[in-house]
Amino acid sequence: MHSHSRNPYLRDIFAALRLAKIFEWKGPDPKHHFSIAIVPTATHHLFKAIGTWTAIEHITLTNLSFPPDYLGIPIPISPPKPLLSRLPSLRTLYLGQATLVNPETIAAMICLSEQESLESVRLVDVYRESIWGPRIRRSDLERAALSFQTDMPPDTRIQRIRRIVKCEGLTERIMGGDRVEGPASLD
C-alpha cells in the first residue's frame, strides 16, 4: 500500500476494489513480531477507498498505523468522525496490530444507525498511541460512545458495543508497555 500512497492513478485502484465483498490484509510478520506494514499515509488512502466499497462484508487489516497529528497523538475530531462510515453491508471488522487508533472513531462507527449489519468488531493488539502505551479496551469504546451525540440512545450504544466488540491482547513483549500473558480479553 505504501507504494501507492502517491500514485496518480489511485482512482483505478478505488474502482476495482469497490466490487470486493471480503478484504484481507495481514502483515508478513511471524506471530511473535509487531511491525507496521501499512504506514499512516497509505492507511489514510486505504480507509478513504474502503468508504466507497458498497459491497464489502468482511474486512481484516493488520500491521497498520493511523495518521497522527504532529505530536504523534491521534487527531481529535469533534464530533468524532467514524472510522468507516455508512457501509450497510459490512458484517465484520478485524483490526490487529494497529497503532494511533482513536477509540472515539471506532465507537462513532459502531453507533451509526446505517451499520445495522455489523455483527463483530475484533480489536487485537490495537493501541491508542504506540505499542508502549495501553491497548484499547472495550471500556474505552463505551466511554467514547457516551462522549458524543447520535440518534442512538446512550444505553443502546453501550449494549451494542458490549454485544459486538471484542478487544484482545495477543502479542507479548519482553518488557514495558501493556503486558498480557497469552491471548487475553480486554474489557
Tell me the pLDDT tens digit for each residue of 23-48.
998 877 666 666 766 777 788 878 88
> Is 0.75 topped by the overall pTM?
yes
187 residues of the chain, pLDDT tens digit each: 445 556 677 677 667 778 889 999 887 766 666 676 677 778 887 888 888 888 899 999 998 888 875 334 455 545 678 888 788 899 999 999 998 999 998 999 999 878 889 999 999 999 998 888 889 999 999 999 998 888 889 999 999 999 999 999 887 766 656 666 666 676 7
Nearest CA-CA partner of 129 in 156, 162, 102, 94? 102
Residue 97 DSSP SS3: strand
Amino acid occupying residue 12: D
Euclidean distance between the first and final Cα of the chain, in Å?
32
DSSP structure string for 50-77: HTT-TT--EEEEEEEEPPB-TTSSBPP-
* 183 CB burial (10 A radius; 0-12, 13-18, 19+): exposed
